[in-house]
Structures are given as C-alpha cells and as structure tokens.
Structure 1
C-alpha cells in the first residue's frame, strides 16, 4: 500500500470519526446533562458497540469479496458517492441543538451503534475504497476496522472531554471548519479513484 493511500485512509478515518454523528452528539449531550461519572455506562456502550459493528463490517466485506469480488468495486463507487454527499452536507451544515437524553445506560450506547448508519457506511467505504483494492485477507480487513473503531472511540472521547467547550468553538467557526473538512474529503475521493 502506498504512503499516499495510507495517509488518505487515515485522513478519511479521522474526518469521519471526529465529525458529528449520533454517537458523538449523544456523548456530548450526555456529558452536558449527566457529567462523566453518570454518563460512563453510556460511553462504554458506545465504545463496545463501535468495535462490534466494525468487526461486522470487516466480515461483510470479506465474505462479499470472496463470493462476489465484483461487488466490492460497486460498493467502492457507492462509497465514493457517500463521501461526496458527506462533503457537501458537511460544507453546508450548521450547528444543531442537542436534546436531553432519557438515560445514560450501557445498553442505550451499545444499541445506538447498531442503528448508526454512519459507522456502517464509514467502515465498508474505508475497506472497499482503500484496503480491498490491495488485499481482501480477513486479518487486514479486521485490523483496518479495529483501527477505524479505535479512531471512532478516540473521537467520541474527545467529544466527551470537550463537552460544551467543543460545541462553543464549533459554533463560532463552523463554516470554516466545515469547508476544510469537506475539501479534505474531496481529496480522499480523489485518492480512491
């Protein structure tokens, strides 16, 4: 794998992991409402769920690649369309208000990841766009998805740690931050082609 592809894979992972998504927004809001100690069960549920979903994505790509290798190419181009859509939506989005959570349980955080479409698309797009063109060995697919899950957990942790401070900074500079993220995602698309 070339350094160019690896660096763009990492950039894609960082942007996807650190941009707002259901898990990050829920973690930020839970920190604001419950604090760290009462929110811990939910946070750990988010983390564990992230890893489980990413292993599922790795297995999906492995078995689909073995049974239907041409399907991975189709999924790659669907992923490219998703990244373009994501770049557009990031560039044009505005900060959103969060709503209070009903509870901060492990199960709520864990189950959230199973309905979090963003991380499924994130994992499958990363594999089909960056990893599968080089190798479809199960070890490397799962390793890449574990890296993705680790990045996701670090990102969610940063949203937890930042609490309102991150929200305030983002609200003040959201247009510049969003444009930079969108342009960087376009570079990621270029590297996949």
Structure 2
C-alpha cells in the first residue's frame, strides 16, 4: 500500500470543508465548543462504525454502488439543504437565552446519525477501504488497525474545526449574519454537487 497516498487521501477528505465541518464551525459560533465537541464525537464514532461496515460488507456494497450513489446523492442533498436552512435561521442571542431547547438538535446522537446520510462520509469510507486496505491486508488485526487510524484522523479533523471556530469566535459573532449566509450557501453548493444536477446541466 502507498502509505503517503493513503494518508493524503484521508487528510484531504476529512479536513476540507464538508457538511459536518461546516456545521461544527457554526455550532461553535452559536452554542460553544462543548456542544461542538459533543457533535464531533458522535460524528467520529459514526465514521468508525461505517468503516467497520465497509470492511465487513465491502464486496456486497460495491456491487450495488451505482444505486447507493443515486440514493445517497438525493438524500444527502436534502440533508444539506436542511442544514443550510437551519444555519440561516441561527441566532446567537436566541441561542444564549434558549440554550436547553435550542441545543436538542445539536447532540452526540445527531452528530452520529447524520453521518449515515452524509454522502461525503459514506463514499469516503467505501473508497478508502476498497482502494487502500482490502487489496493489501487480509488479517482482521490489520483491518481493525486501519479502521482505528482513519477514525482518529476523522476525529482530529472535526476537533480542528472546533478549535478554528473557537479562535475566531468573536469575529464570527460580530459578522454572524454574513458568516451564516456564507456557510448556508456553501451547503447549498454541496447539495447541488452531490445531487447529480451539475451532470445534467453539462450534457
């Protein structure tokens, strides 16, 4: 296995902006690092479980990959649009005064569940396992080791976005509406890219 290519792929996919990272950044802004870390922990656990499922059912999953891409593209686009709407409605002052009720949707559980309909995460775990792990390692120990390594990389990526959000917290609060708008538009762009509409428009 090309270790450099493996690590580069993992870091590029997990550290670059995506639905989870964008939502973590906004959660830091509106609810603080503690809630963002809670969400990040759930997301990281989900990645670990998805990696285990990918290793276990790799051959079956890839036979159905075209169907999985189609379904995940549609579901993922709807999910991203939902997050875009949620981000556009976020308000710092409201978050501070209604913390208990407003934080119900930003939890370890939601961070965990949302990764199963996040196309970036699902397609990443499918491709990283099939291209870098399965062809080179057959033992349960090595596969489990790589699942752990990739999960740790994912967690490190999420935590880095929490730190980034905490450092720029006051800047983000000062320009809250602009930041929320930019992040919402970023999610709408992500939804457009995974929905397959861009392919139809280019034909």
Q: Is the 8 A contact 1:123 1:145 kept in 2?
A: no
Q: How far apart are 1:165 and its partner, in Å?
A: 3.8
Within the alignment, does 1:106 sit opposite 2:103 as a pair? no
- Cα gap change, 1:132/1:27 in structure 2, threshold over 3 Å: closer, same or farther? same
Q: How far apart are 1:60 and its partner, in Å?
A: 2.0
Map of 1:141 onto structure 2:
143
Gap regions ≥5 residues in structure 2 = 67-83, 92-101, 173-181, 183-203
Map of 1:59 onto structure 2:
56
Q: How far apart are 1:160 and its partner, in Å?
A: 0.6
- What is the RMSD of the two structures over their aligned residues, measured on CA atoms? 3.3
Q: Is the 8 A contact 1:59 1:142 kept in 2?
A: no
Q: How far apart are 1:53 and its partner, in Å?
A: 1.9
- Secondary structure of 1:133's partner? coil
- Cα gap change, 1:17/1:40 in structure 2, threshold over 3 Å: closer, same or farther? closer
* Matches for 1:22-41 after TM superposition, within 5 Å: 22-41=19-38
Deviation beyond 4 Å, 4+ runs, structure 1:
none
Q: How far apart are 1:59 and its partner, in Å?
A: 1.6
Equivalent-residue separation in structure 1 for 2:120 and 2:139 (angstroms): 24
1:146-187, CA deviations, whole angstroms, 9 ceiling, x for partnerless residues? 21111111001000110174999xx9xxxxxxxxxxxxxxxx
* Matches for 1:67-82 after TM superposition, within 5 Å: none
1:62-102, CA deviations, whole angstroms, 9 ceiling, x for partnerless residues? xx2xx79xx68x97xx8xxxxxxxxxxxxxxxxx9954395
Q: Is the 8 A contact 2:51 2:129 kept in 1?
A: no
TM-score, structure 1 normalization: 0.60
In terms of Rg, which structure is larger? 2
Equivalent-residue separation in structure 1 for 2:147 and 2:48 (angstroms): 8
Gap regions ≥5 residues in structure 1 = 79-95, 172-193
- Secondary structure of 2:57's partner? helix
Map of 1:160 onto structure 2:
162
Number of residue pairs matched by the alignment: 140
